[in-house]
Amino acid sequence: MLKKVIYGIINTVSIVIIMAAVLVLCMVVMTKPGKAPEIYGYSVLRVMTGSMEPTYPVDTLIVVKKTDPAEIREGDVISFYSSDPALDGAVNTHRVVNVKQEDNQWIYTTKGDGNNVADPYEVKSGDLIGKVIYDSLPFGKLSRLTANPLIFIPLILLPLAVILVTNLVRTISLAGKIAKEEEERAVKEAIQSIRDKQQKE
């Protein structure tokens, strides 16, 4: 019984990992170069610097929801494509400290919680990715570890491959067993049919 429970847990975990891997793969494949991966209006990013500490330490995983620029308020944490030449259009995540509207577009002044001054370059609504709605440091640490081939291959990919092969073997074995049972049942029914016919004669 315990063996079946453990095997069921392993199967469930393997399915979750496969689904997550497929989801990430789809996000990456469907994303244009230079853009943040997005699926159904959500992007999953990982904090790479300490500019938002202590709110979001380095490696924190954040979920960013695509948001109408008009709904962004002071105090919201947003992700955006930075116009800072030093960042060369890279994704940045900072807190909004001022919001204004000019020429039919919204402009945000942002600042990292760990920085002493606001960002020198404002964010235009066209560069907005969305608002941060979820964060997790443990998941971020895990995603960083799994991104390392030296960890991903031996700790995740190989066990996952073993599970998949084991399931395949079990499926083939079960299919063979079912086919054999069906064959035996057909033979018994044929024999019984012959006997019934002989008895009638």
Give CB contacts under 8 A, 24+ apart, made by 98-106: 98/74, 99/72, 99/73, 99/74, 105/69, 106/69, 106/70, 106/72
Convert the pLDDT of each residue in 185-194 to its tens digit. 877 777 777 7
Reported as type and span, the H/E element at residue 131 is strand 128-136
- Taking alpha carbons only, the member of 101, 53, 59, 58 closest to residue 77 is 53
Cβ count near 134 (within 10 Å): 12
Least confident piece of the model among 10-14, 94-98, 107-111, 173-177: 10-14
Average pLDDT, the chain: 80
d(CA 34, CA 187): 65
pLDDT category at 154 given cuts 50, 70, 90 is: low
Whole-number pLDDT of residue 182: 78
pLDDT category at 6 given cuts 50, 70, 90 is: low
Q: Which two tokens stand for residue 171?
A: 């499926």
Instruction: Please determine, for residue 25, whether its predicted confidence score (pLDDT) is greater than 70.
Output: no
Name which residue leads in pLDDT, 17 or 133.
Answer: 133
Instruction: Please determine, for residue 36, whether its predicted confidence score (pLDDT) is greater than 90.
Output: no
Whole-number pLDDT of residue 76: 96
Whole-number pLDDT of residue 191: 72
Instruction: Please determine, for residue 7, whether its predicted confidence score (pLDDT) is greater than 60.
Output: yes
Whole-number pLDDT of residue 174: 75
Fold of 33-147: Umud Fragment, subunit A (2.10.109)
Instruction: Please determine, for residue 119, whether its predicted confidence score (pLDDT) is greater than 80.
Output: yes
**All residues at 6 or more sequence positions from 188 whose CB lies less than 8 Å from its CB, including other chains:** none
Q: Which backbone phi and psi does 181 adopt, to 5 degrees?
A: -65, -40
Q: Across residues 167-182, what is the average pLDDT?
A: 77
Give the global pTM. Answer: 0.64
Whole-number pLDDT of residue 64: 95
Q: Across residues 33-57, what is the average pLDDT?
A: 84
Name which residue leads in pLDDT, 60 or 30.
Answer: 60
25-to-41, 109, 145, 178, 186 alpha-carbon distances in Å: 16, 34, 17, 36, 47
Cβ count near 108 (within 10 Å): 25
Domain regions of the chain by residue span: 1-30, 33-147, 148-201
Give CB contacts under 8 A, 24+ apart, made by 55-60: 55/95, 55/113, 56/93, 56/113, 56/135, 57/137, 59/137, 59/140, 59/141, 59/144, 60/135, 60/136, 60/137, 60/140
Instruction: Please determine, for residue 31, whether its predicted confidence score (pLDDT) is greater than 60.
Output: no
d(CA 118, CA 97): 8
